[in-house]
Amino acid sequence: GAFSPRDVELLLTIAGPLAISINNIRQLEQTQAALMAQSEQALLLRTATEVSATATSVLDVQELAQRVVNLIQERFDLYYAGLFLVDEGQQEAILQAGTEAEGTALQAEQYRLPLASSALVTQAITVGRVHLEPDVRQGTNWEFGAYLPNTRSMLAIPLRAQRGGTVGALTVHSTEVDAFSDQAISILQTLCDQLAVAIENARLFQQVQESLIRLNNLFLASRKIMAAERAQTVYETLVDYAGASGLVDMAHLLVADPKEPDFLMLPALWSRLDVQYDPTYRYARDPLPYSPRLLQKDVVFIEDLQQISNNEPAILEMFQSSRMHAVVLVPIYREDQWLGSLVLARSDSKPLARSEVQPFLTLCNQAAAALANQQLFRESTALYRASRSLSQVITRDDAINTVAEEIMLQTKADQCRLILYDSRAGVGKIEYERSETGLASGIQFPMGDDPIFRRLSEERRPLLLHDDGQDEITAASYLRPFHTKLSLLIPALNQQNLIGFMALDLLQGHRNFNSTQVNFAQTLVDQLNTQLENLALFDDALSRAQEMITLNQVGVLISGTLDLDQLANVVHEQVGRLLDNSIFILALYEAETQLYRPLLCTRYGERIAPEPRRLEKSESLYEFLYRGTLLAVPDDPVLSEEAGLQELFVSGWVPESALWVPMQQEGEPIGFLSVQSYRPDAYTENHIQLLRTIATQAGLALANAQSFQRTETTLQEIRQLFEITQIVTAAPEPQTRLARVVDALHRHFQEVNIALFTVNDEEKLLETVISHGRQSFPRQIPIADDLLGQSVVRGKPLLIRDMRDLPAHEQSSRDALSQIIIPLAFGARVIGVLTVESPFPDAFSDSDLRLLRTLSVSVAATLESGRLFQEIQLANEQLRELDRLKTQFLANMSHELRTPLNSIIGFSRVILKGIVGPVTPEQEHDLTAIYNSGRHLLTLINDILDIARIEAGKMALILEEVDVKEVALDALTTTRGLVQDSGVELRTDFAPHLPLIDADPVRLRQILLNLLSNAAKFTSEGHIQLEIFPDGEHHLHIAVQDTGIGLAETDFGRIFTAFEQIEKRDGQSLRGTGLGLPITKRLVDMHQGEIWVESELGQGATFHVVLPVKQLSHATNGQTDHVLEVSEESSLP
C-alpha cells in the first residue's frame, strides 16, 4: 500500500530506459575490455617480435641478456626485470643481467642463488615451470626484499632449452599486486623459450669461437714449436699456449738440469697472478710432491696438491702463494726418454677434463719431437764438428783430446778414460783421463786375462757396468777405484781387433745413458780408431820423408841466405826438426888468425854468447878442426874427460851425448857444427849421417856468406866514399865542405880524433884547418922527424896499428895508440895532411886506409880550391873598391858638371828673352847655340847618371796610382818641340776609360819621352803615333809607332845595349850617348813590365811596352834623383 499505481507506472516508465542504459554501459565496457586486451596482446606480440629479433642478431650472451631485460621492462612497464643463468656445475643460478640501478648493484655483487634454495627463481629453474607471487608481502619466498623494496608482485619464468633442461630463469617485478595476467604470462613464457634457444645458440657460437681460437692457438703454437731452434723457445711456447687457453691458472715446465741431472729446473712459467720465481733455481728431484709420477708416460691428474707431503719447499711455496689446488702433469716423452713435463694448475679442486687436456698432450708430443730433433741436430752438429776437428788434427794427443771432450759434452758423463792395450806387454795404459780420482794418465795395469777385457773382445759392442752390490769383482776392479756407480765401456776396434776401450762414468747410480748417447760415443770412438791408425801410418811415412824434406829445406834455405846470423838460425831450426839439439853450437874459424868465434850457441833454445878466442895448436878443438873427421862423445861424460875433450864443451855444460862435425872449404877449416843432448844414446848412425850432410851444406853456405860479406864491405867502402864525396861537392864554400868531410869521417870511425892540416912551405909548419874529437890539436905544428913530418916529406900514407910498437921518438905525445896519416897532394906538391887517431890499438884496418887514400884526392882538391877561393875573394874586394870609387866619381861629376851647366842654361835663357836688354841677331845666334848645347850636354849627363844608378841598384821607384793618359799628354807636349820644324805629324789613340796603374810618374814620363824622342830622331816625314789600350784585365799596353827609317832584325838586340848606336841611311851617326833605349828597358823591367820592337828597314818601327796595372810590391825606400829639365820649348820666342 505504500506505492500507488501511478508510482508503479512511473517506475515502470523509468525502468525501461534505465535497463537500456545499463545494457549499453555493459556493452561499452565489454567493448573497451576487448580493445584493451587486443592492444595488450598486440604490445606483447610486438615485444615478442623485438625480443626474437634481438635473440637472433646478438651472439654474445651477456649483451643478449641485458638487451632483453631492458626491452621487457620498457615494453611491459615493469619495476624490474632480471635474468639468471645456471653455472656450468649446475649448482647456482647467477644473475646475468638486471635493469635500473638495482640490477647494476646486484650484478656488482655477483648475486647468485643456490639451486637447492626455496627461492622463486630457483624453483622455476628446478621445476621447469612458471612461478608467480601475486603479493610478495603475503608470500614466503621473497628473496629480493633488501634490493627491490617496491616490488608487490613477481613472476619467475624458466628458460627451457630445446635439448632439454633449464638454462636459467627470467624474473619480472611490478609495483602492483597481482599485476600479471595469464595472457602476459603466456607471452612471457613464449619469449623465454625463444630466449633460451637464443642463449643456447649464443653459447654454442661462443664455444665454436673458443674452439676455433684454441685450434688456431694450437696451430700457431705447433708451428712455432716445430720451427724452434732452441729448447727455451719450445718451453716458452708451451706455457704461453696454456695461458692463452683460459683453462688453467698457472703453467710451468719441469725439465732435467743438463748439467746436474739429479736436479730439475723450471725454465718457463705462466700465471694469472704475479708469481715470482728464479729460473736459475734447481729443484731436487726426489722431494717433489709428484716425483713418483713425474717420469710416467701417461697424463697424471692430482686433485689436491696440498694433501701431498714431502713437498720441495721452493715449489710448494710457489703453489701456495698462487693458491693452486689441482694439478695435471702432461709428459714430454720421446721413445724411452723423459724430456720434461708440462705442469697445469688450477685454483679450484676441479681438474681439467681429459678432452681439455688432449690439446696439451698433442702439443707436448710435438714438443718432444721438436726437442728430439734439436737434440739430433746438436748431436749431428757435434758429430760433424768432432769429425771435422778429428780430420784436421795431426797428433795423437790432439785426436784423443778432441774425441774425449766431445763425447763427455754430449753424453753428460762425469768422468772419461781412454785405455789402449799393448799386446806385446800385455798391459793397458791410460792414454787420457778426466776424473776426480786423481789418477794420472800413463798408469799401466795388466789386461791379458782380464774377464771384462775378454768380454769386450768377444762381443765387440758397448758394455754397461753397474755397481749394484752383486758383482764385487767387477765393482772393485773397474768402478770403485774411480768412485763411480756406473760405467759405459765403448770398445776401440782396429780391423775387428780390440785395441782398448773408452770408459764413461756416472757418479750417481740413478742416472743412465740413453741409446742415442751410446751410439754417438761408439761412432766417435770408431772414428778415433780410424784416425789413430791413419796418424800412425802418417807418422811412419812422415818419419821416413821428414829427413829428406828437412835436408832439402836446409839446402834451399841456407843456399839463399847470405846473412850469417840468419843462416845460423835456419840451421838451428832445421836441425831441431831431426835431432835433439838441447845444446846447439855453430862456430866459425879463421885459419889466418886462428880465431874461434861461436856464431850461434843455445841451450834449450836460450841464446848464449861465449867469447871468441884464439886456438892453440895443442888444443883438442884445433886438432879436431884440422883432422876433419866427425867426433862422437860416448854417453858417459867421464870418457869425454879421459879423451881430453873437455874444452869442446861449453863451460858447465856436460851432456850425456854429443856430436861434432867439422866444416871445411878447399881443405881449410872454417868452423864446426855440434849438437848435444842430456839423454843417453840420443844419436844414432842415421843422425850422424844427417848431421854430416847438414854440416856440408852449412859449410858451403857459410863460405858464400863470408865471401858476400867481404864484397859488401868493399861496396860499403865505395858507398861511404861516394857519400863523403857528395858532401864535399854539395857545400858551396871549401871551408864548409872540409868541415862536413871531417864530421862524416868522425861519425864513420867513432871515438877518434881527426885533424886536417895545410902545409906552410915558407915557415915549414903544419897549420890546423879543422879538427874533431875529444882532444884538440895545436894550431901550428913544426914539420919535424915525427910521423906527420915523415908523411909530408915522403908523400906516403902511414897506418900505425899499435903506437907502442914504434921507436920512442916516433911515438905520439898524445893518447893515441893507433893512427892513420894521409898526405894531401895536389899535382906533385903536398899541400896538407889528414890524420885519424884512436886511443885503442888495432882500431884501423887496411880497408880504412884505402878509404882515406881514395878520399884524399877530393880533400886535396878542396884545399886547393879553398886557396883559390880566397884569392878570388881578395880580387872581388878590390873590384868592389873600384866600383865605390867610380860611384864617388859619378857623384862628384854630377855635382861639378850639372851645377855650372844649370847656370849657363839659365843665364843664356834670360838673355835670349831680353830680360837684361835687347840682343843683336849675331848675339841671339850665339846665345841660342850656347843654350841648345847646354841642354844637350845636360841630357847626356842625366842619361849617364841614370844608367850608373840603375846598374848599381841604387835607383828606387816611388810607386803611386798614376793616370797614364795625363802623363802621356805631358810627354807629347815636350815632343812637339822636337818635330815642329820637320813637319812630322803627332797622333794619339787612347782607349776610353783607361785604368789607373801603379807606377813611378817621373820614370813613366821618362819612358814615354825617350820612346817619342827616339821616334823623332829617325822620322823625317810621315807621322808618329802614341797608342794606349788595356791588355787583358791586369795589364796596360803602350805602343809608339813611327814612319821612320826602320830597323834591321839584327839590330833588335843592340838598341837596348848601353852606348850602342845605329846609323842613318846616309851612314852618319846620330848625336847622343846611346843610353835612351837601354835606360827605358831597365825602367820597364823595374816596373815588372815588358818592352820589345817590331820593325823592317824602310818601314818604320813600333815599340811596345806592357805594364802591370797592379805591382806585386811597392818601392818605398829611398828617393829617386829627379832629372834636371830645362824649358820644354825647343827655341826662343
Q: Distance (Å, rounded) from C-alpha 965 to C-alpha 1087?
A: 17
Q: In this structure, what C-alpha cell is assigned to residue 623? A: 886438432
Nearest-5° Cα angle at 1050, 1044 to 1054: 80
How does DSSP classify residue 854?
Answer: H
948, 891 in Cβ contact below 8 A? Answer: no
Ranges 744-748, 814-818, 992-996, most confident: 992-996
Per-residue pLDDT tens over the stretch 555-591: 676 776 778 888 888 888 888 888 888 899 998 888 8
Residue whose entry in the numeric block shows the C-alpha cell 565496457: 29
Nearest-5° Cα angle at 512, 378 to 433: 75
Q: Is the pTM of this model over 0.75?
A: no
Q: Distance (Å, rounded) from C-alpha 407 to C-alpha 409?
A: 5
625, 589 in Cβ contact below 8 A? Answer: yes
In this prediction, residue 690 carries a pLDDT of 83
* % residues pLDDT > 90 (the chain): 12
194 or 162, higher pLDDT: 194
In this prediction, residue 1116 carries a pLDDT of 38
- Per-residue buried b or exposed e for 630-663, using 16+ beta carbons within 10 Å of the residue's own CB: bbebebebeebeeeebeebbbeeebbbbbbbbbb
Which helix (H) or strand (E) segment holds residue 759: the answer is strand 753-760
CATH superfamily of 36-209: GAF domain (3.30.450.40)
Model confidence at 83: pLDDT above 80: yes
Which helix (H) or strand (E) segment holds residue 962: the answer is strand 960-962
Q: Distance (Å, rounded) from C-alpha 478 to C-alpha 803?
A: 87
In this prediction, residue 1068 carries a pLDDT of 47
Per-residue pLDDT tens over the stretch 916-961: 788 888 887 777 778 777 776 777 777 777 777 777 677 788 899 9
Cα–chain center distance at 1127: 87
Q: Label residue 63 by pLDDT band (50, 70, 90).
A: confident
Mean pLDDT score of the chain: 80
- Domain 560-704 in CATH 1.10.3720.10? The answer is no
Model confidence at 313: pLDDT above 60: no
Model confidence at 879: pLDDT above 70: yes
Q: Label residue 962 by pLDDT band (50, 70, 90).
A: very high
The radius of gyration of the chain from alpha carbons, rounded to an integer in Å, stands at 66
Q: How far apart are the first and last CA of the chain?
A: 197
In this prediction, residue 481 carries a pLDDT of 75
Q: Distance (Å, rounded) from C-alpha 408 to C-alpha 517?
A: 10
Q: Label residue 233 by pLDDT band (50, 70, 90).
A: very high
Where would I find the beta strands (DSSP E) of 62-206?
Answer: 80-86, 92-98, 112-114, 131-133, 153-160, 166-174
In this prediction, residue 636 carries a pLDDT of 40
1117 or 625, higher pLDDT: 625
683 or 885, higher pLDDT: 683
Q: Distance (Å, rounded) from C-alpha 741 to C-alpha 728?
A: 6
Model confidence at 1108: pLDDT above 90: yes
Category of 204 on φ-ψ map: left (φ > 0), alpha (ψ -120 to 50) or beta: alpha
Q: How many CA atoms lie within 13 Å of 496's alpha carbon, on the beta-carbon side?
A: 1
What residues form DSSP beta bridges with 1027? 989, 1039
Model confidence at 168: pLDDT above 90: yes
Which of helix, strand or coil describes residue 983? coil
Residue whose entry in the numeric block shows the C-alpha cell 806592357: 1106
In this prediction, residue 424 carries a pLDDT of 63
Letter for the amino acid at 279? P
4-13, 155-164, 196-205, 741-750: lowest mean pLDDT where? 4-13
Closest CA to 648 of 635, 636, 661: 661
The Cβ of residue 852 has, within 10 Å, a number of other Cβ atoms equal to 22
Give the helix ranges, DSSP H, for 651-762.
685-730, 734-749
Per-residue pLDDT tens over the stretch 594-615: 878 888 898 888 888 777 787 8
In this prediction, residue 944 carries a pLDDT of 75
99 or 200, higher pLDDT: 99
Residue range(s) of every CATH 3.30.565.10 domain in the chain: 957-1108
In this prediction, residue 1063 carries a pLDDT of 63
Per-residue pLDDT tens over the stretch 249-276: 889 888 887 767 667 888 898 888 776 6
Per-residue pLDDT tens over the stretch 1021-1080: 999 999 999 999 899 999 999 999 999 888 888 888 877 777 655 554 455 567 788 889
Closest CA to 457 of 502, 504, 417, 497: 497
Q: Does the CA dihedral 181-182-187-189 come out positive or negative?
A: positive
Residue range(s) of every CATH 3.30.450.40 domain in the chain: 36-209, 228-377, 393-542, 560-704
The Cβ of residue 260 has, within 10 Å, a number of other Cβ atoms equal to 13
In this prediction, residue 966 carries a pLDDT of 93
Residue 100: partners with Cβ closer than 8 Å, 6 or more residues away? 73, 80
896 or 527, higher pLDDT: 527
Q: Which CATH number fits domain 228-377: 3.40.630.10, 3.30.450.40, 3.20.20.70, 3.30.360.10?
A: 3.30.450.40
* % residues pLDDT > 70 (the chain): 82
1114-1121: average pLDDT: 40
Which of helix, strand or coil describes residue 841? coil
Per-residue pLDDT tens over the stretch 1038-1052: 999 999 999 988 888
| SS3 readout for 1093-1108 | EEECCCCCEEEEEEEE
In this prediction, residue 1043 carries a pLDDT of 93
Model confidence at 768: pLDDT above 70: yes
Q: How is domain 957-1108 classified at the CATH fold level?
A: Heat Shock Protein 90 (3.30.565)
Phi then psi for 937, rounded to 5 degrees? -65, -40
Q: Distance (Å, rounded) from C-alpha 400 to C-alpha 418?
A: 8
Q: Distance (Å, rounded) from C-alpha 477 to C-alpha 485?
A: 12
Which helix (H) or strand (E) segment holds residue 665: the answer is strand 657-665
117, 131, 168, 745 from 123: Cα distances, Å: 8, 7, 11, 131
Class of domain 393-542: alpha beta
Cα–chain center distance at 476: 60
Q: In sequence order, what DSSP letters do the residues of 864-892 get, joined into one string?
A: HHHHHHHHHHHHHHHHHHHHHHHHHHHHH
820, 845 in Cβ contact below 8 A? Answer: no
In this prediction, residue 303 carries a pLDDT of 75
Q: Distance (Å, rounded) from C-alpha 1066 to C-alpha 80?
A: 152
Q: Distance (Å, rounded) from C-alpha 816 to C-alpha 835?
A: 11
Q: Distance (Å, rounded) from C-alpha 387 to C-alpha 391?
A: 6
Letter for the amino acid at 576? G
901, 907, 930, 1090 from 916: Cα distances, Å: 20, 10, 17, 49
Q: In this structure, what C-alpha cell is assigned to residue 564? A: 850469417
Cα–chain center distance at 247: 54
Q: In sequence order, what DSSP letters do the residues of 412-468 get, joined into one string?
A: T-SEEEEEEEETTTTEEEEEEEE-SS-PPTT-EEE-TT-HHHHHHHHH-S-EEEE--
Q: Distance (Å, rounded) from C-alpha 650 to C-alpha 381?
A: 56
403, 412 in Cβ contact below 8 A? Answer: no
Q: Distance (Å, rounded) from C-alpha 778 to C-alpha 68?
A: 135
In this prediction, residue 199 carries a pLDDT of 85
Per-residue pLDDT tens over the stretch 633-688: 764 443 344 344 445 566 566 788 888 889 888 888 888 898 988 887 788 888 88
The Cβ of residue 606 has, within 10 Å, a number of other Cβ atoms equal to 7
1025, 1041 in Cβ contact below 8 A? Answer: yes
